[in-house]
Structure formats: structure tokens, C-alpha cells
């Protein structure tokens, strides 16, 4: 697959503030990428730099093998991008059809009409074309915004927190729906979000940003199960680190006994490590020789999150179906079920 978006070693400053630091990543034709990270890490700045609303200080950006920033700068309207914003940004005095038509007024009237009908069908709003934005729900308005962004057939779709004005249930359905629309039409898209569930539901590739630096750009599965550093491991999902020692190419000795699993190559026997324990990997079992005391618990409906103290004094989390009811202060047997062992050097900053 050809690269549709290539971001190559870009830097962005606001006066002396270094907002984006040497960031590189690529998206292939038809792939969906999500930039994920805490508030202020530079997600929107990166998206706006790709759109052409911000000038970059170094590096280059190419869309469909045409350089749009770097040695030469192409203005936003000539970059063949579509944009969807958090607040929908629809024109309130125009109908749904007129909003969608806005980006394709160069087409003949009949052609325009056909395209609008087709887009209304795509976003499942057939029959709503003559309504005004205020007559639609938030989710419907965002689908109109998507149809408008897709109308000129951009090569790249950019979405900035598109679901954050919607309630939780609608976010989930809309992110699944929008992923399907984009995949059916093989549209390449890059989305900004600070919501991990949204990023995982939408993306083929996730980029974890922290303080303007791209920490990892990889599949959701890899980012979750094989985080490249403690920053990514702590930001994505829940989990706590305990001390361990590598005892063979596939085993680590720790307060939970000998854990087996894939280990990165660079760890040789006797290496001291910090080992990530994910809560869903900690299983309760009365017959286990390894015990822990329950420090606290949080009821989450289908699951309960327990904080446990091991005999080493270290704490871990355990997420189990909520029929596993235990009292605070109780001692339980546990073991760890895992495929990939996530370890970092013992002196790594957690
Ligand atoms: P959020 O999730 O809160 O939207 P973000 O990850 O999108 O955050 P950005 O909006 O890209 O972060 O901002 C990155 C950093 O750059 C922040 O520290 C912000 O204060 C700073 N910044 C953003 N825009 C400007 C600007 N126009 N002038 C100066 N500093 C800015």
C-alpha cells in the first residue's frame, strides 16, 4: 500500500515553546490513525500542522506523495484534506443539504444533487436533508459534518476530538459507525482524541504523544501489550509496576512467583527489571501459593477493581467479574496470566 500521509521529523514552536518535537509517522492509503495523549501534549498542534493552519520549523509533510510542508508550503485549501471539528462547525442558517453542498459548489447542480443524496445515504441521514442543524441531535450533526468534509472527496480526513461533545453511549456507536463508513470507502483519516477507548475503537494505528514527542506509533494491540517505554505503559490502560529479576529468556522472578512469557531480546538473565502488572491479568484462585491482602475495591458494574498488597509490600490492581466478592482486609490467593511480559530496566523512571 502506498503511503498517503508522511510526517517526517517535524518541529513546531510557539515563540520559544517547543510544542512538537521531531515527530515522524506514516499512514497508508485507507488506514485510520489516532493521536492520543494527555491535555497539552501537542495533538491538536500536530493535526493543525498537517492541515496547514500552523507553520512547521523543521521537517516535512507529504500527502499522497506531494510535499505540502517543508521546502515548500501548500496552503490548507490546496492540500486535499477534509476536516471535522469537535463543535461540528455547521452553518446554522443552512439546511443539511446546503451545508454538505458548501464544499462542492464547483460541481454542476445535477451532479451536486446526486453526490449529496449519496453522502446522506452514507451517513444514514436520508430524508433529513431539508432540516436545519438545530433540528438534529448532536450525533446527527456530527454525521452531517462528516458528510460535508467528505463531499469534495479529500485524500485525507482530519478529525479533531469529533466525539467529545457527545454522551458516552453515543460516542461508542458513532465511533464504530464512522470507522465503518471510512473503511467501506477506503478513506485515510487521522483523528485526535484524549479518549483511549475511542482511539482503540477507531484506529488501525495509534500514536501516543507526551510533551510534544511521539512515544510510540503502532497498532492498538501493540501499544497496549508491547508498550515501548514506561510513559506509554502508564498512559495506556491501568497497571502497576513491581520489581523483578530475569531468570531465563522467557521467565521473570517476582513477588508473584515465576512468570513466563515473551521477553524482549535485550534482557539477559540476572537483569533487574520493573515488571508491568495489568489488572485484568491478575486472577483470583484459592489454591494459589501466592497471596495478597485487599486494600480497597471499586465496584464498576460488570467488574470490580481491587487494590492488592503483596507480601513484598508492593501493590497491584486486579480486575475481575463482579461476582468475585471479597471484603477489604481479606486475604486471597492470586496468580498472573499473561502472554507478553512487559518489563523495563529497574532504573527506568516510572
Ligand atoms: P488538548 O487535549 O487539551 O486539546 P493538545 O494535546 O491538543 O491538548 P495542543 O493544543 O496541541 O495540545 O497544545 C500543545 C501545547 O502548545 C500546549 O502546551 C499549549 O498550551 C501550547 N499552545 C497551543 N496553541 C498555542 C498558541 N497558539 N500559542 C502558544 N502556545 C500554544
Q: Given the CA of residue 209, which atom of ligand 1 is nearest to it?
A: 6
Q: Is the CB of 39 under 6 A from ligand 1?
A: yes
Q: Whose CA is nearest to atom 25 of ligand 1?
A: 14
Residue 278 has, within 13 A of its CA and on its CB side, a CA count of: 18
pLDDT in tens, 27-49: 999 999 999 999 999 999 999 99
Q: Given the CA of residue 48, which atom of ligand 1 is nearest to it?
A: 11
Q: Which of 11, 21, 45 to mutate to test the pocket of ligand 1 (most atoms within 8 A of CB)?
A: 45
Considering the chain, what percentage of its residues have pLDDT values greater than 70? 98
Q: Is the CB of 21 under 6 A from ligand 1?
A: no
From 137, 188, 338, select the one nearest 254 (Cα to Cα): 338
pLDDT in tens, 207-233: 999 999 999 999 999 999 999 999 999
Instruction: Tell me the CATH number at 206.
Output: 3.40.50.300
User: Which of 203, 229, 255 represents a domain boundary (last residue)?
Assistant: 229
Non-local (6+) Cβ contacts of 189 within 8 A are 32, 33, 156, 157, 158, 159, 182
**Ligand 1 centroid, distance to 113 Cα (angstroms):** 39
pLDDT in tens, 239-253: 899 999 999 988 999
Residue 344 has, within 13 A of its CA and on its CB side, a CA count of: 18
- Split into its structural domains, the chain has a count of 2
- On whether both 153 and 90 belong to a single domain, the answer is yes
**Ligand 1 centroid, distance to 18 Cα (angstroms):** 10
- On whether both 210 and 266 belong to a single domain, the answer is no
Question: Looking at the predicted structure, is the pLDDT value of residue 350 above 70?
Answer: no
- On whether both 222 and 245 belong to a single domain, the answer is no
Q: Is the CB of 216 under 6 A from ligand 1?
A: no
pLDDT in tens, 68-99: 999 889 999 999 999 998 887 899 999 999 99
Cell numbers describing residue 59 = 521537517
- On whether both 224 and 273 belong to a single domain, the answer is no
pLDDT in tens, 120-171: 998 889 889 999 999 998 889 989 999 999 998 899 999 999 888 888 878 8
Measured between alpha carbons, how far is 189 from 70 in angstroms, rounded to an integer? 21
Non-local (6+) Cβ contacts of 23 within 8 A are 7, 9, 10, 11, 42, 46, 59, 209, 212, 213, 214
Please report whether residue 132 resides in a domain: yes
Q: What is the pTM of this model?
A: 0.90
CA torsion 101-105-109-113 (nearest 10°) is -20
- On whether both 224 and 259 belong to a single domain, the answer is no
Please report whether residue 350 resides in a domain: no
3-class DSSP assignment, residue 211: coil
Query: What are the backbone dihedrals phi and psi of residue 27, each rounded to the nearest 5 degrees, phi first?
Result: -125, 135
Q: Are 44 and 195 in contact (CB under 8 A)?
A: no
- On whether both 170 and 52 belong to a single domain, the answer is yes
- On whether both 171 and 60 belong to a single domain, the answer is yes
- Mean pLDDT across the chain: 92
* Residue 192 lies in domain: 3-229
From 347, 348, 341, 350, select the one nearest 264 (Cα to Cα): 341
Amino acid at each position: 500500500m502506498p503511503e498517503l500521509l508522511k510526517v517526517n521529523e517535524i518541529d513546531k514552536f510557539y515563540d520559544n515553546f517547543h510544542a512538537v518535537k521531531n515527530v515522524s509517522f506514516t499512514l497508508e492509503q485507507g488506514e485510520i490513525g489516532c493521536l492520543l495523549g494527555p491535555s497539552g501534549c501537542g495533538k491538536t498542534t500536530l493535526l493543525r500542522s498537517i492541515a496547514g493552519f500552523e507553520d512547521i520549523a523543521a521537517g516535512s509533510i507529504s500527502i499522497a506523495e506531494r510535499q505540502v510542508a517543508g521546502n515548500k508550503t501548500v496552503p490548507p485549501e490546496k492540500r486535499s484534506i477534509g476536516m471535522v471539528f469537535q463543535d461540528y462547525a455547521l452553518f446554522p442558517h443552512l439546511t443539511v443539504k446546503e451545508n454538505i453542498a458548501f464544499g462542492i459548489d464547483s460541481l454542476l447542480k445535477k451532479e451536486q444533487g446526486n453526490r449529496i443524496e449519496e453522502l446522506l445515504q452514507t451517513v444514514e441521514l436520508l430524508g433529513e436533508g431539508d432540516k436545519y442543524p438545530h433540528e438534529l441531535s448532536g450525533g446527527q450533526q456530527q454525521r452531517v459534518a462528516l458528510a460535508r468534509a467528505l463531499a469534495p472527496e479529500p485524500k485525507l480526513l482530519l478529525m479533531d476530538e469529533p466525539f467529545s461533545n457527545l454522551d458516552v453511549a453515543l460516542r461508542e456507536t458513532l465511533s464504530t459507525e464512522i470507522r465503518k463508513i471510512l473503511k467501506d470507502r477506503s478513506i485515510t483519516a487521522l483523528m485526535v482524541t484524549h479518549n483511549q477507548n475511542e482511539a482503540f475503537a477507531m484506529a488501525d494505528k495509534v500514536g501516543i504523544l507526551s510533551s510534544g514527542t511521539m512515544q510510540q506509533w503502532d497498532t492498538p494491540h501493540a501499544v497496549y501489550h508491547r508498550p515501548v517505554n514506561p510513559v506509554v505503559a502508564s498512559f495506556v490502560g491501568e497497571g502497576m509496576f513491581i520489581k523483578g529479576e530475569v531468570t531465563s529468556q522467557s521467565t521473570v522472578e517476582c513477588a508473584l512467583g515465576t512468570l513466563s512469557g515473551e521477553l524482549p531480546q535485550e534482557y539477559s538473565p540476572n537483569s533487574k527489571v520493573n515488571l508491568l502488572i495489568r489488572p485484568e491479568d491478575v486472577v483470583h484462585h484459592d489454591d494459589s501459593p501466592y497471596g495478597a491482602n485487599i486494600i480497597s475495591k471499586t465496584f464498576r458494574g460488570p467488574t470490580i477493581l481491587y487494590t492488592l498488597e503483596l507480601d513484598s509490600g508492593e501493590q497491584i490492581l486486579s480486575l475481575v467479574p463482579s461476582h468475585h466478592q471479597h471484603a477489604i482486609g481479606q486475604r486471597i490467593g492470586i496468580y498472573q496470566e499473561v502472554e507478553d511480559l512487559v518489563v523495563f530496566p529497574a532504573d527506568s523512571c516510572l
